Structure 1
Amino acid sequence: MVTALIPVKNTSQAKQRLAPVLAAAERAGLARAMLRDVLGAVTHARSIDQIFVVAENDEVAGICAEYGVSILQETANRGYNHAVAAGVKALSPFQGDLSAVILPSDIPLLTAWEVDQLVAEAQGRLVRIAPSRDGMGTNGLFLSPAHAIPSQFGLNSARRHQHVTEQSGIPCECVVLPGLAFDIDTPNDLRDFRALRSDTIAGGFLRQSHIFSSSFEFERVQP
């Protein structure tokens, strides 16, 4: 059995690094749109048996309900690794035969096929890392079993995940998947996403909001 865990920061506080180019309401709307893209991909992945969004409150409950996804509520928002740990702990009664895949909510180009590739043909103990575009971050983490290693998300997380896995004596694999690798954190990411003209919910939101209009300047500062 494979469970997908998707930690979600409160959308009102999401994407602070985009503050120089997007207003708070725009960042919140983008965060919700990207979550819909991710849930759409994961719910269509053949390899996933159950999906949980890990969130501090029920702010995204409506979106989860659209996709038939349950929420695991944290008692407090203490960061990404804490959210992952809380999600894995909630699954503890099933850990003996349970694998987990941890995915962020800001990868709108993710496809169901990529999710299936991340968890494909896993036999026995295994950690599989899907790095971000710069090779430094971790945009997907497959754990078999779910408690194989503690997550190491943050600066240089791909290298740290690999190190912890090797120290644990667990086989480690790296898979490069372009949609999974493409997160939106910075104005440069947003510029690259604009150039793709993707048929995603996030892309549609940005176009409908006129954020990607011809007059849009990435250097603008919002009040």
Structure 2
Amino acid sequence: MICHAVIPLKPLARAKSRLADLLTPEERQALVRSMFLRVLGTLVPLRGSLLAEVWVISRDPEVQNLATLHGARVIYDQAEDLNGALAQAHATLEDLGAPAMLVIPADVPLLSAADVAAMLDLLAQTDVVLVPDRHGQGTNALAMHLPCRLPFLFGSESAAQHQAAAAALGLRCQILTSPTLGLDVDDAASLGVYRGMEQSSTP
């Protein structure tokens, strides 16, 4: 299957507000920029094999420039929130005739090509694939065939909400757990894991 990946990202100045007690605004922006580039660096090389295209939806000019510089295509975010932005991206891909959509947040820096392959392998057997966060509560990635009526419900307890919505629509939903994709950096513990990874990878 050839799938289109979508990375949504709010303006850097507003990103990771939950880390405000730990990081300055400049540090938060640098953190998000670093994670975003890691996600791009994993997904863009998969074009032509696992992925047809990589898209970034954002209204931030710096994010758009980074996306273009690293080989992704850009959708200007006209929505007011994450779920609205993903609905906009969904409509764009449907209009292009894309067969499937993979949603990958910008704050999952341990994402690997194996994670993408595992999601797409499962998607070949079902309607929707969901990767929960390490707590089993949030949604860290979502894949679906297009067109799809499943609403985007990212936010608190979104894993259960996405599963319930899929069941209500008669869609088969498979759950994939991943220790790498399951890590999203949004608190002191996950920030420590990410910083430790960065230090271990520095020559």
TM-score by length of structure 1 reads: 0.83
- Give 1:199 shift: 5.3
Partner of 1:159: 160
54, 59, 70: which one aligns with 1:56: 59
Partner of 2:30: 29
Q: Deviations over 1:7-61 (max 9, x none)?
A: 0011111111111111000100110110000011111333111111010232212
Question: C-alpha distance in 2, partners of 1:129/1:21?
Answer: 30
- Give 1:146 shift: 4.6
One-letter amino acid of the structure 2 residue matched with residue 82 of structure 1:
G
Partner of 1:67: 70
Structure 1: unaligned runs, 5 residues or longer: 205-223
Structure of greater Rg: 1
Identity %: 29
- Give 1:117 shift: 1.1
The answer (yes or no) to whether the contact 1:127–1:148 under 8 Å persists in 2 is: no
The answer (yes or no) to whether the contact 2:122–2:129 under 8 Å persists in 1 is: no
Question: C-alpha distance in 1, partners of 2:96/2:125?
Answer: 16
Question: C-alpha distance in 2, partners of 1:121/1:101?
Answer: 12
Matched, 1:81 2:88: no
Question: C-alpha distance in 1, partners of 2:163/2:172?
Answer: 9
- Give 1:196 shift: 4.2
Distance 1:128 1:164, change over 3 A: same
Question: C-alpha distance in 2, partners of 1:198/1:159?
Answer: 35
Distance 1:178 1:198, change over 3 A: farther
Matched, 1:94 2:96: yes
| Count of equivalent residues | 199
Question: C-alpha distance in 1, partners of 2:200/2:100?
Answer: 31
- Give 1:125 shift: 5.6
- Give 1:121 shift: 5.2
One-letter amino acid of the structure 2 residue matched with residue 30 of structure 1:
L
Distance 1:119 1:146, change over 3 A: farther
One-letter amino acid of the structure 2 residue matched with residue 154 of structure 1:
G
Question: C-alpha distance in 1, partners of 2:147/2:26?
Answer: 35
Distance 1:39 1:12, change over 3 A: same
The answer (yes or no) to whether the contact 2:6–2:57 under 8 Å persists in 1 is: yes
